[in-house]
Amino acid sequence: MKIKVELFGASREFSKDNLIEFEIKNNSTIKNIRDKMIIYLDQNFNGNKDFKKIVENSVFCTENNNIVSDNYKITKNQKIAIIPPIGGG
C-alpha cells in the first residue's frame, strides 16, 4: 500500500516535491510513518537532528483535515499531511 505524506511548513525542506511517498503495510500507524520518515531523513540528510525534531514534534492530519494520533491506523492508499509546530512551539 502507498502513502503520500504532504509536507507543510519547515518539513517542506525534506523534498523538492512537497511530498514523500512510502510503501507501507496495511494497518500501519502514524507512529510507523514517523519511523519511516526518520529512516528517510537518515538516508537523505545524514540524520539531520533538526529535521528529526520536526518529525518528532509534528502532528499529522488526514485527507479530511482531521488531526490524528500516533495510533491512527492507515487502511487504504491515501494522503497524510505533516504539520510542524510554528515558531518552535
55, part of any domain: yes
HEC letters along 47-70:
CCHHHHHHHHHCEEECCCCCEECC
89, part of any domain: no
pLDDT of 89 > 80? The answer is: no
- For 24, other C-beta atoms within 10 Å of its C-beta total 15
Which of 26, 29, 4, 21 lies closest to 81 in space, CA to CA?
A: 4
18, part of any domain: yes
57, part of any domain: yes
**The pLDDT of residue 47:** 86
Percent of the chain residues past pLDDT 90, beyond the cut: 85
8, part of any domain: yes
Mean pLDDT value across residues 8-17: 94
Query: Residue 73's domain is classified under what CATH number?
Result: 3.10.20.30
**The pLDDT of residue 87:** 64
**The pLDDT of residue 75:** 86
Percent of the chain residues past pLDDT 70, beyond the cut: 97
* CA distance linking residue 88 with residue 17, whole number of Å: 24
The structure's pTM equals 0.89
Domain total for the chain? 1
The model's pLDDT over 48-87, given as tens digits with 9 standing for 90+, comes to 999 999 999 999 999 899 999 999 999 889 999 999 988 6
Put residue 47 in one of left, alpha, beta given phi > 0 → left and psi -120 to 50 → alpha.
left
The letter for the amino acid at 6 is E
Residue 9, domain extent: 2-83
